[in-house]
Amino acid sequence: MTIPLCHLDITKKITKEDPFEPCKLNRKKYAQILTDSLNISQDGFVLALNNEWGTGKTTFLKMWQAYLESQSFKTLYFNAWENDPEEDVLLSLISEFININKSSNKYFTKLLNCAEPLSMSGLAKVSNAISSGSFDSEAMRVLFSLIGTSISISIENRVKEISQRKKSVTAFKKALEVYVKSKSKKKFVLIVDELDRCKPSYAVKVLETIKHLFVVPGIVFVLGIDKQQLCTAIRGYYGCNSFNAEEYLKRFIDIEYSLPCPASIEFTNYLLDYYKYSEFINSKSRWENTKTKQEVDDFYTFTRSLFTLKNVSLRNQERILGHARLAITSVPVNHYIYPELFIYLIFLRITHNTLYCKIRDSELNIKELIESIDKILPDKIESPDLYIFLLNRLIYMYNLSRGVQKEELFIDNVRFH
């Protein structure tokens, strides 16, 4: 059995016939709501899908993109984080259009020609030369002397440059509008994801480029963001913690929408089934040992309770159960797993790694161990005796790990001694 690690690539299961078939969070209805919203205006606009990191935002966007394609919308997906190393945002965005131009298109050629004067490549070369010290001292002396004698000419040239740039922007936006109309009668949807993961300067460049060049009739931009993280990046870019980043974002975002939080237990059940825990634990070889007969129920009950009461993010649920599924294969068939302790230690390893390492390395005394665990255990657990059982089991195993007896607890590739 091949076991995916850390992040389930559900996107590989997306089909044109039913894009939301692999979705276990019942999110298709939200895609339908958002699709209806695309027709609220004939003009272009920017829609922000704002959800915290790790809530399945990217998976939803990929499914929605496939759904839109099935409804005859033209779409593009731009991963801002993957393009972060590129300096020229305009060219990076335009390059995505190649994906829908299987053959020569005169409107696309026109668009490229109009984009050329707006490209940052020429400016970037000059900037790099200055910052790297490519100009020698004599060249710099001549340069500064010219500045003193031709300032009036420079102002005149600058005015001409600004005027020409305005004309270039107008020409580009017109060419873009014509191109979009040539491709589809419906809205053209350009999805920009992972913006909050970019370095601050690039994130701001993307926002500025979209707003000033790409918002034309017929185009809708969808930004997949964690607004709180993006605001932090913007404040970092402007070097001021008091900068009103949310107000700044309002200049770029016309509509904001957040996916309702899914029922955590639904996703937990899906992961438990996906990784086939019951199939492994209830295998014939393990059932020969009578101690294993309660493992599945105990494992499922505690995992649901832990994830729900501790508000474990969807991504961390994937990481914990993916790691646990790999680790569990190391447990001999005649060994009892102690399912509650097993999953709890992996939960600590993923979400409270410093404490996990202290437990693994026997750095705590019993009093410190109890106090640390007491702060992290869920306030309420389904089984009233589970808290006491888990704590007692952890203390027992911890004492064993410190040399009372030789016994191993398999938690990761490095065994927990």
Q: Tens digit of pLDDT for each residue in 260-302?
A: 877 778 888 888 888 887 777 777 776 666 555 566 777 888 8
CB of 48 closer than 8 Å to CB of 227: yes
Give the full edge-to-edge strand order of the sheet including 219-225.
74-79, 188-193, 219-225, 45-50, 255-257
pLDDT, one tens digit per residue, over 53-64 is: 877 899 899 999
pLDDT greater than 80 at residue 79: yes
Does residue 312 have a pLDDT over 80? yes
What is the 8-class DSSP label of residue 286?
Answer: H
Mean pLDDT across 366-380? 80
Structure-block tokens of residue 306: 């832990």
pLDDT score at 412 = 39
Q: Please tell me the distance from the alpha carbon of residue 156 to that of residue 189, in angstroms, as a whole number.
A: 41
Would strands 45-50 and 74-79 be described as parallel, antiparallel, or unpaired? unpaired
pLDDT band at 99 (very low <50, low <70, confident <90, very high): confident
Average pLDDT over residues 315-323: 89
Looking at residue 120, what is its pLDDT?
55
pLDDT value at residue 66: 94
- The rounded distance, in Å, linking the Cα atoms of 163 and 170 is 11
- pLDDT computed for residue 47 by the predictor: 94
Classify 220 in phi/psi space as left (phi over 0), alpha (psi -120 to 50) or beta: beta
Beta bridge partners of 77: 191
Q: What is the DSSP annotation of 108-123? A: HHHHHHHHGGG-SHHH
Q: Which of 1-10, 147-156, 211-220, 324-333 has the highest mean pLDDT?
A: 211-220
The pLDDT value recorded for residue 10 is 66
The least confident of 67-71, 106-110, 115-119, 236-240 is: 115-119
Residues 6+ apart with CB under 8 A from 219: 44, 176, 180, 187, 188, 189, 190
Label residue 154 by pLDDT band (50, 70, 90).
low
Q: Percentage of residues in the chain with pLDDT exceeding 90?
A: 30
Rounded CA-CA distance 339/350 in Å is 17
Mean pLDDT to the nearest integer, 293-317: 81
The pLDDT value given to residue 23: 85
Catalogue all structural domains in the chain, each as residue range(s) with its CATH number: 10-103+184-257 (3.40.50), 264-404 (no CATH)
- Alpha helices (H) in 116-226, listed in sequence order: 121-131, 137-149, 151-183, 200-209
Going by pLDDT thresholds of 50, 70 and 90, the confidence category of residue 374 is confident
Alpha carbon of residue 173 to chain centroid: 30
In the structure encoding, which two tokens stand for residue 187, read together?
Answer: 């809205």
pTM: 0.71
Q: Which residues pair with 224 in a beta bridge?
A: 49
Q: Where are the beta strands (DSSP E) in 17-89?
A: 45-50, 74-79
| Residue 398 confidence (pLDDT) | 86
Rounded mean pLDDT of 356-376? 88
The type of residue at 247 is E
249 has pLDDT over 90: yes
Intra-chain end-to-end CA distance of the chain, in Å: 28
Identify which of 274, 323, 320 has the alpha carbon closest to the alpha carbon of residue 13.
274
| Alpha carbon distance 256, 46 (integer Å) | 9
pLDDT tens-place string over residues 332-342: 777 777 778 88
Residue 304: the pLDDT is 87
Please provide the average confidence, as pLDDT, over all residues in the chain: 79
